[in-house]
Structure 1
Amino acid sequence: MAANENVQKVLDWTVAEVGVPGIVAEVKDGDRTWFGTAGVADLETGSPRVPGEHIHTGSSGKAFTAAVLLSLEAEGRLSLDDAVNAHLPGVLDVNGYDGDKITVRHLLSNTSGLFPTGLAPEVSYRYATRSGFDQHRFDTFSTEELLRIAVSQPPVGAPGERFEYANGGFYIAGALIEKVTGNSYADEVERRVARPLGLAHTRVRPTTDTGYPAPHPHGYTQQFLKDGTDPATVTPENWQSLMEEPGLPLMDATVLNSSLGYAAGNVVSTTSDMIRFLNALTTGELLPPDQHRQMWTTVSTEGSYWMPHTNYGLGLFEFDRRATGGRTLRGVGGSFWGTYFFAVGTPDGEHTVAVHTNTEWRSWDPMFKIIEAEFGVSITA
């Protein structure tokens, strides 16, 4: 397929020009599938990337969290318009937040007014520099600690006022799932998402895990602040200017504890499983019609520092059709140290591409170039 040849060219370009160690793309187009790679899975041995690798999917895990809560709503166990205080009284009633006004829907749509969690000093002082990351890579975060971090800084807006990407909202959503069901977040993801969809290689990563099942790529990171930068001075507006200069060596981040992700993004999966997952969400296979509609009722991300040209649903995104020439494309995606993943497809589930790099995203260019190569859609302003 000519389109896949064009995707392969983008994969090669991403390794040669963007500096990504290794990248894979898996395409499902009707009954046809295609798998392409470029670069390596391991810089030391030079081993290639292969199909079926276990990968950290980053904030794609938010869509799993949203799917579980929508499933619970369909059963009448809760409503997305419930105030958080109805289930977790007092958790949000600090630092200017109001748990009677912030709803479950606000949490899942990133419109709660919670501040960007990655800027919390408890996080940035541990991981913002190379030395800090190496010292703290095995730190384990409890749910209680994550809930404290979620509200450790004042609000950035009123509930429902605007989109602001906040992992903390999904920490609270995970705790809410556990409170309502009496089961662990991981068990509910397995019972309500992974098992019904036959995702045999997908699970929430246990807090005790620091590695991955075979096969898996090594993950490499350069996501650090410049030496001498005080993390307390970092804002959503200036963080890019404070990052390390290009050209410094990559750090192997394969072995680490990822409990910081929790219900905001700590799912390990494969590209095949994630295509299956996204297609079930886009077509309405997993959820009843009302919950499916709510999942894809979006808010604009314009003016935020998240992915450009998108609208955000509940844990997932849809490209703004003004930027795609009227074409509807939906997706999930996310990043963690040493990993970036996205899957994008058509609403009918017939045509989907899943991509993983074994380092964090350097720019949006590879993603947009892959989408143009596979779908013939140029993402424009």
Structure 2
Amino acid sequence: MSANENVQQVLDWTVAEVGVPGIVAEVEDGDGTWFGTAGVADLTTGAARRRGELVHTGSSGKAFTAAVLLALEAEGRLGLDDTVNTWLPGVLDPGGNGYDGDLITIRHLLSNTGGLFPTGLAPEVAQRYATRAGFARHRFDTSTVADMLDLAVSQPPVGLPGERFEYSNGGFHLAGAIIEKATGNSYADEVERRIIQPLGLADTYVRPAADVGYPDPHPRAYSKLFFKDGTDLATLTPENWESLMEEPGLPPLDVTEVNSSGAWSAGNVVSTTTDMIRLVSAMAGGTLLPPAQHRQMWTTVSTEGGHWMPHARYGLGLFEFDKSVTAGRPLRGVGGSLWGSWFFAVGTPDGRHTLAVHTNTEWKSWDVLFKIIEAGFGISVGR
């Protein structure tokens, strides 16, 4: 059985056993391009998923943010070891919740090692979006940059700068604000000029703050990622959140129309599997950035204890799997999850073999990721 046939089996299994409404996978390697699908794009009409759908890529957008800042460094316009206070004086005020903008650098922000707390677990976010009732009230709210920067420091640090990895959208929101301060342009314009246009990503864009839908073709998005009614969201922690989720068996909520402006430079990019394969191939293979910046992008840190994906190290906005679990094969990629969407793209460092996958519901199991990697790359992932 071919690798692509094995991938198709995993797609079928994901729909039948994991409960994903629909899933697509695209593979590009020395034999050309293959595309597979299982399940549906729309639970009401039963329409099938198809090639070329525009989807939300979640935190895959962090790679765009990191690449823009690395490009600015290559031009001598800033340095990764510049402190936050160099560019955003006063935003990180040690007299507030304990963050010191003279100690946290751009490199810390992009590697999730700045000591910022995991923004997604902020009580304000949970109260607005983490229950079905809260989501219904707030799904079309727009977040400003000022809102996001306030949220980034709304809880105390989880460690000293450089001490440990903790996945935090807030750090990437600070990074986005630095891009705008350093260039005088919008974050979206810089991503367009430095990444989308050079790579020819014809179906990729930073989602405007006012957008609540997607151009056609696109799948419907479905969510069951809500906490139980009556949950005291103030007790939410990285350790206990899974135990507080609502009971299985409830129908999914259609969350296709939603305002995702609060993701911004931490991951608000819409794209296709084809475009994201091109992006990951360029970033993994070193064809987008100068050699010095490429090396920095892939200088990784341990994610152990950082409440994130298992068996992976983190670079600047991207990840690299530990070779001990990928049969010695180096594999690099991006990934992210948002309401009704989970996306990942993984490839070899030479950029010659890359696969991209999207489900029209959030992350449900790391088994989906690892089974597809096993099938697509012909390896046995040790977990």
TM over 0.5: yes
1:194 aligns with 2:196: yes
Secondary structure at the counterpart of residue 95 of structure 1: coil
CA distance in 2, matches of 1:304, 1:104: 19
CA distance in 1, matches of 2:31, 2:334: 22
CA distance in 2, matches of 1:119, 1:57: 20
CA distance in 2, matches of 1:66, 1:101: 19
What letter is aligned with 2:360? N
Secondary structure at the counterpart of residue 167 of structure 2: coil
What letter is aligned with 1:150? A
Extract unaligned runs of 5+ from structure 2. Answer: none
1:258 aligns with 2:260: yes
Report the CA distance between 1:265 and its aligned residue: 0.4
**TM-score, L = length of structure 2:** 0.99
Report the CA distance between 1:367 and its aligned residue: 0.7
CA distance in 1, matches of 2:247, 2:31: 44
What letter is aligned with 2:186? S
CA distance in 1, matches of 2:92, 2:281: 34
What letter is aligned with 1:207? A
Name the structure 2 match of 1:302.
Answer: 304
Name the structure 2 match of 1:66.
Answer: 66
Name the structure 2 match of 1:133.
Answer: 135
Q: Which of residues 311, 329, 353 in structure 1 aligns to 2:331?
A: 329
Please tell me whether the aligned partners of residues 129 and 226 of structure 1 are also in contact (alpha carbons under 8 angstroms): yes
Name the structure 2 match of 1:43.
Answer: 43
Name the structure 2 match of 1:283.
Answer: 285
Secondary structure at the counterpart of residue 44 of structure 2: coil
**TM-score, L = length of structure 1:** 0.99
CA distance in 2, matches of 1:6, 1:326: 21
Superposed structure 1 runs of 4+ greater than 4 Å apart: none
Q: Which of residues 354, 361, 374 in structure 2 aligns to 1:352?
A: 354
1:80 aligns with 2:74: no
Report the CA distance between 1:125 and its aligned residue: 0.7
Q: Per-residue displacement from partner, 1:99-125 (whole Å, max 9, x unpaired)? A: 000000000000000000011122111
Name the structure 2 match of 1:311.
Answer: 313
Q: Which of residues 317, 322, 330 in structure 2 aligns to 1:320?
A: 322
Name the structure 2 match of 1:242.
Answer: 244
Report the CA distance between 1:92 and its aligned residue: 1.1
Please tell me whether the aligned partners of residues 210 and 257 of structure 1 are also in contact (alpha carbons under 8 angstroms): yes
CA distance in 1, matches of 2:381, 2:221: 28
What letter is aligned with 2:224? Q
Report the CA distance between 1:244 and its aligned residue: 1.1
Report the CA distance between 1:67 and its aligned residue: 0.3
What letter is aligned with 2:335? G
Name the structure 2 match of 1:2.
Answer: 2
Name the structure 2 match of 1:111.
Answer: 113
What letter is aligned with 2:323? R
Extract unaligned runs of 5+ from structure 1. Answer: none
Q: Per-residue displacement from partner, 1:151-192 (whole Å, max 9, x unpaired)? A: 000000000001000000000000000000000000000000
What letter is aligned with 1:53? E
Report the CA distance between 1:24 and its aligned residue: 0.1
What letter is aligned with 1:38? A
CA distance in 2, matches of 1:79, 1:30: 37
CA distance in 2, matches of 1:380, 1:224: 31
What letter is aligned with 2:194? R
What letter is aligned with 1:373? A
What letter is aligned with 1:97? Y
Please tell me whether the aligned partners of residues 226 and 244 of structure 1 are also in contact (alpha carbons under 8 angstroms): yes
CA distance in 2, matches of 1:285, 1:134: 43
Name the structure 2 match of 1:273.
Answer: 275
Number of equivalent positions: 381
1:120 aligns with 2:122: yes
Secondary structure at the counterpart of residue 322 of structure 1: helix
Report the CA distance between 1:311 and its aligned residue: 0.2
Report the CA distance between 1:239 and its aligned residue: 0.4
Name the structure 1 match of 2:155.
Answer: 153
CA distance in 2, matches of 1:304, 1:266: 22
Report the CA distance between 1:31 and its aligned residue: 4.6
Secondary structure at the counterpart of residue 371 of structure 1: helix
Report the CA distance between 1:325 and its aligned residue: 2.0
CA distance in 2, matches of 1:31, 1:174: 38
Report the CA distance between 1:247 and its aligned residue: 1.3
What letter is aligned with 1:270? T
What letter is aligned with 1:180? A
What letter is aligned with 1:137? R
What letter is aligned with 1:300? S
Q: Percent identity?
A: 75
CA distance in 2, matches of 1:246, 1:378: 31
Q: Per-residue displacement from partner, 1:176-211 (whole Å, max 9, x unpaired)? A: 000000000000000000000000100100001100
What letter is aligned with 1:286? L
1:209-248 to structure 2, matched below 5 A, reads: 209-248=211-250
Please tell me whether the aligned partners of residues 221 and 252 of structure 1 are also in contact (alpha carbons under 8 angstroms): yes
What letter is aligned with 1:35? F
CA distance in 2, matches of 1:190, 1:217: 24
CA distance in 2, matches of 1:211, 1:158: 39
What letter is aligned with 1:108? L
Secondary structure at the counterpart of residue 102 of structure 1: coil
Secondary structure at the counterpart of residue 72 of structure 1: helix
CA distance in 2, matches of 1:351, 1:209: 33
Q: Which of residues 362, 368, 371 in structure 1 aligns to 2:370?
A: 368
Please tell me whether the aligned partners of residues 368 and 378 of structure 1 are also in contact (alpha carbons under 8 angstroms): no
